[in-house]
Chains A and B, each alone.
Chain A
Amino acid sequence: MPHENSYHIEAAGGGAVTLVLTGRMDLERFGELAGLIGAVFDTHNPSKLNVDMGGVTYLDSAGALFIVELEDEARRRSVVFELSGLSREKMGILSLIDRDAMTKPSLAPRERRMNIVEQLGAASLAAVRDVYDIISFSGELICELGYSLMHLQKVRWGDVVSYMKKVGVDGLPIVGLISFLLGLIMAFMSSLQLKQFGANIYVASLVAVAMVRELGPIMTAIIVAGRSGSAFAAEIGTMKVNEEVDALATMGFSPMRFLSVPKVIASLLTVPVLTVFASIFAIMGGLIVGVLGLNLTIFTYIQQTMKAISIFDIVSGLVKSVIFAAAISAVGCQRGFKVRGGAEAVGNATTSAVVTSIFLIIVIDSTFAIILHYIH
Chain B
Amino acid sequence: MNNTEPVIRVEDLTVRYGSNTVLKDVNFEVWPGEIFVIMGGSGCGKSTLLKHVIGIETPAKGNIWINGTDTSTLDDRELGKLHMGIGMLFQSSALFGSMTIGENVALPLTEFTGLPMKDIESIVKMKLGMVELAGYDNHYPSELSGGMKKRAGIARAMALDPAMLFLDEPSAGLDPVTSAELDVLIRKLNEGTGTTMVIVTHELETIFNISHRIIMLDRDAKGVIAEGDPRVLRTDSDDPRVTDFFNRRVTEKKSKGMTT
Chain A residues proximal to chain B, CB less than 8 Å: 26-28, 30-31, 34, 60-62, 65, 68-69, 89, 92-93, 95-98, 100-102, 104-110, 341-345
Contact = CB atoms under 8 A, between A and B. Distances in A.
Contact of A341 (B97, B127, B194): B97
B88 interface: no
Interface string B110-145: 000111100100110111111010111111011100
Contact of A31 (B98, B116, B137, B189): B116
A30 B123 contact: yes
A105 B135 contact: yes
Given A62-B161, A93-B193, A97-B129, A342 B123 contact: no
A108 B139 contact: yes
B135 A104 contact: yes
B122 A107 contact: no
A344 B97 contact: yes
Nearest to B188: A96
Contacts, number: 97
A28 B230 CA distance: 38
Interface string B153-168: 0000010110000000
Contacts of B189: 96
B175 interface: no
Contacts of B57: none
Given A31-B116, A104-B125, 4 more contacts: A61-B123, A61-B126, A65-B126, A106-B138
A108 B143 contact: yes
A30 B136 CA distance: 24
A92 B191 contact: yes
B130 A102 contact: no
Nearest to B112: A27
Quick one: which of A34, A92, A101, A345 has the most chain B CB within 10 A?
A101
Nearest to A108: B138
Contact of B134 (A68, A101, A341, A345): A101
Given A342-B97, A344-B97, A92 B194 contact: yes
What 7 pairs across the A-B complex have the smallest Cβ distances?
A: A101-B129, A101-B134, A342-B97, A98-B129, A96-B192, A60-B161, A107-B135
Nearest to A69: B122
Contacts of B191: 92
B193 A61 contact: yes
B97 A343 contact: yes
Contacts of A341: 97, 142
A109 B138 contact: yes
A106 B126 contact: no
A104 B130 CA distance: 13
Nearest to A340: B142
A107 B136 contact: yes
Interface residues on B, range: 35 or more
B115 A31 contact: yes
Nearest to A34: B119
Contact of A27 (B113, B130, B142): B113
A101 B97 CA distance: 23
A51 B75 CA distance: 43
Contacts of A109: 138
B115 A104 contact: no
Contacts of B127: 61
Nearest to B99: A344
Given A61-B193, A69-B122, A97-B130, A106 B115 contact: no
Contacts of A106: 102, 135-138
A105 B129 CA distance: 12
Nearest to B129: A101
A107 to B, nearest CB: 4
Nearest to A99: B129
Nearest to B137: A106
23 contacts: A27-B160, A31-B113, A31-B114, A31-B115, A34-B119, A65-B126, A69-B122, A95-B192, A97-B130, A98-B126, A98-B130, A98-B132, A101-B126, A104-B129, A104-B134, A107-B136, A108-B136, A108-B138, A341-B142, A342-B142, A343-B97, A344-B97, A345-B97
Nearest to B118: A34
B134 A61 contact: no
A93 B126 CA distance: 12
Contacts of A34: 119
Residue among A93, A96, A100 facing the most chain B CB atoms (10 A cut-off): A96
Contacts of B141: 342
A173 B177 CA distance: 57
Nearest to A95: B192
A186 B240 CA distance: 78
A143 to B, nearest CB: 32
